[in-house]
Amino acid sequence: MSDALLSELRDGAQKLGLALSEQQFAQLMEFLSVLQKWNKVYNLTSVRAPQEMLTHHLLDSLAAVPPLQRYLESMPEGQREKLLDVGSGGGLPGVVFAICCPQLDVSCVDTVAKKAAFINQAAATLKLPNLHGIHARVETLTTKFDVVSCRAFASLIDFTTWSRATLADHAIWFAMKGKHPDEEIAALRPDVEVFHVEQLQVPALDADRCIVWMRPVA
């Protein structure tokens, strides 16, 4: 991968206020390389050009890292360990979260076997013991998680309904969306509370992005 892409990645991280180590930058660039290589065979993403992959995937996912880190820091010890990324596809944002938040144990679940296999390959290549690919439907999982995330996966009602059984007692949903999803929020069941909608600014990308924070209501 080119020095120009690394330079843009560094610039983007700085604009997001992310203090990443040299190892983390190297892992992010290697992930971009692995994603591009596997994409030729497995069609993990419709985005092909490395430059677009950097802005539309890597920087887009990185923009969600500071809010996630702030949330994790507010959690009691022992309640910030496990994150499930639903419909992770090519590992976005799950792999980025695993790189930038080494204290998190990140599982990426996808119904497509080759996508789960790619996550496990990325974990081995990038030396990320805290990253796991799971080939399954999210509704069939029995493990409990502290944070359940998704990015461009499904409507909020489908996401929360399908993944509800994976939430630990104190857990929250963390959904990355484009424009403020007013209609999707209005369609949520009464037992799901939206407690924050956070606007994101993605470096080098002129597009609406937000995080919808939700929790179950007893």
What CATH number does residue 151 fall under?
3.40.50.150
Positive or negative torsion for Cα 114, 117, 123, 124: negative
Cβ atoms 64, 36 nearer than 8 A: no
Is 30 a domain residue?
Answer: no
Query: What backbone torsions phi and psi does residue 60 show, to the nearest 5 degrees?
Result: -60, -45
Whether residue 57 is contained in a domain is answered as: no
202: closest CA among 174, 184, 183, 176? 176
User: What residue numbers bound the domain in which 209 lies?
Assistant: 64-216
Q: What is the pLDDT of residue 132?
A: 97
pLDDT tens column, 164-187: 999 999 999 999 999 999 999 999
Cα distance between residue 215 and residue 218, in whole Å: 10
Has residue 98 been placed in a domain? yes
pLDDT in tens, 100-143: 999 999 999 999 999 999 999 999 999 999 999 999 999 999 99
User: Residue 199: inside a domain, yes or no?
Assistant: yes
Tokens, residue 151? 């990015």
Q: Is 135 left (phi over 0), alpha (psi -120 to 50) or beta?
A: beta
Bridging pattern class, strands 192-200 and 131-135: unpaired
Q: Residue 29 falls within a domain, yes or no?
A: no
Domain count, the chain: 1
Decide if 50 is inside a domain: no
Confidence (pLDDT) at 91: 92
**Does 6 reside within a domain?**
no
pTM of the model: 0.95
Question: Does a structural domain hold residue 127?
Answer: yes
